[in-house]
A and B are shown apart, each in its own frame.
Chain A
Amino acid sequence: MSMNFSEFKRRLGAEPRSEDAEMLAARDASSEHRAAVAEAEQFEHRLERALNTPVPADLIDTLRTIPAGKNHGRRWWPVALAAGLLMAVGAAGLSWRAAPDWPSVEAYVMDHYRHDGGRLVAESFEAGYGNVHEVLAEFGLDAEPALANIVGLVKFCPTPDGKGVHMVLHTHDGPLTVIFMPETDVEDGERWAFDEMDVLLVDLERGSAAVIGSNRDQLSEYYAVLQDSLVVQSDRS
């Protein structure tokens, strides 16, 4: 007994290109069936056109370098490919060979956050890591309790002018990312937004920082916390 039209429509909607013998046989069962097939094919064409996003031209070639060991470890693709970033991650930590040439602090902050900002926020809640005092000591700095007590994750990271620090703070208003740039000048108080995130630049006694979060008001509050709590080590003695 042949499939009824209602069942045929349901299966066609689920699997328009089905090779199932029963479905293939039913396609020509009546003019109604044939019209439904034509409509489904037309919709599939539209759906495929909508889903067909372009693929980066160098994607496959880059993947093919993996066996040669040229592509190990999570990478920062856009920056690495555009600027020929030469960064090595050694067992003992980070060793810096060259810094990429970002056109502006804004471009750097956006690239940086898009690269691993979201992932590090997630990791900070699952298994935070890093000792904020040890990491900041590399730059002759330390964190007062108001800052140190809310650091969920801290690690070294690249900045436009060399090594810096990436921190995720767990504030009462949610996570906040701070990128400390020891050698980079910024325009204090500059704000902008990208990808539904707000950014505030802070000029510090030593270096600068970008504060990134989804709550605009929250940024202002932690502007002051950074100014007050990121201190030069010699000032504390």
Chain B
Amino acid sequence: MSIERQRTAKFDELAREYGADLYRYAMWLCGNDALAKDLVQETFLRAWKAIDSLKETRAAKSWLITILRREYARTFERKVPKFTDVDTVVVPDDDELEPDDRAEVQMLRQGIMQLAPKYRDPLLLQTVLGSSCKEIAEELGISKSAVMTQLFRAREQLKKKLQKDGVTGNVHELF
């Protein structure tokens, strides 16, 4: 296989393996479908240009996350007026859910958006992208212990919100 075909195959694998999760992550980061698509596209564009620098396939996910987060910080995070809201993220994908479940999903999504960034960031990296505490610590430049504390608190805050907002069903039995 020629070098060019190898590069393309490597990129193709990255797109298939991580494209969807990175889009979901981008969607939660910026709260807007069009921006999320743009962000993922830009991430993969940069990844393609630098594909030769990726020596180990197992490092690919962290590499892509770093590119995406830098791109997000560069273009959207600073001084950008907030022109999206929670409703943008609350995509109507839950038609098959029972009304109580739908209400719970809605509340959790609102709760996630309302979390302080220091809690939301590690939670999204863990739950959307499947990153380990060690990987999150490296990505965010904080200690693993701090990551664990923030993840614990993030979940506690979400559970409290569900309790406070009176979601019915088994959720109450959790606490």
Q: Which residues of A contact B (CB under 8 A)?
A: 10-11, 13-15, 39, 42-44, 46-56, 59-60, 62-64, 66-67, 71-78, 111, 113-115, 117-119, 121-122, 125-126, 174-175, 195-197, 214
Contact = CB atoms under 8 A, between A and B. Distances in A.
B7 interface: yes
A53 B27 contact: yes
A36 B130 CA distance: 21
Contacts of B140: none
B83 A122 contact: no
Closest 7 CB pairs of A and B: A50-B108, A14-B148, A195-B83, A13-B152, A63-B15, A14-B151, A77-B37
Interface in B78-104: 78-85, 88-89, 91, 93, 101, 104
Given A15-B151, A63-B15, 13 more contacts: A10-B148, A39-B174, A43-B171, A53-B89, A53-B91, A63-B41, A66-B45, A72-B45, A74-B41, A118-B81, A119-B75, A121-B81, A196-B81
B128 A51 contact: yes
Taking chain B's interface residues, is the majority helix, strand, or loop, or is none over half, making it mixed?
Answer: helix
B123 to A, nearest CB: 8
A50 B112 contact: yes
Contacts of B101: 49
Contacts of A175: 81
B125 to A, nearest CB: 12
Interface string B28-55: 1000111101101110110010000000
Contacts of A72: 45
B8 A75 contact: no
A71 B159 contact: no
A64 B27 CA distance: 20
Nearest to A110: B34
B12 interface: yes
A48 B7 CA distance: 33
Contacts of A42: 170, 174
A196 B83 contact: yes
Contacts of A64: 11-12, 15-16
A78 B93 contact: no
A15 B125 CA distance: 12
B127 interface: yes
A56 B26 CA distance: 13
A59 B38 contact: no
A68 to B, nearest CB: 8
B60 interface: no
B133 A14 contact: yes
A125 B77 CA distance: 13
A194 to B, nearest CB: 8
28 contacts: A11-B148, A14-B149, A14-B151, A14-B152, A15-B132, A39-B173, A42-B174, A43-B155, A43-B174, A46-B171, A50-B112, A51-B109, A53-B93, A54-B91, A59-B20, A60-B16, A63-B41, A63-B44, A64-B12, A66-B45, A73-B45, A111-B34, A118-B35, A122-B76, A122-B78, A195-B83, A195-B84, A197-B81
A117 B91 CA distance: 22
Contact of B24 (A53, A66, A195): A53
B80 A118 contact: yes
Contact of B28 (A47, A51, A75): A51
A46 to B, nearest CB: 6
A39 B159 CA distance: 11
Nearest to B158: A47
B16 A59 contact: no
Given A13-B155, A53-B91, A119 B76 contact: yes
Given A11-B148, A43-B174, A122-B80, A66 B42 contact: no
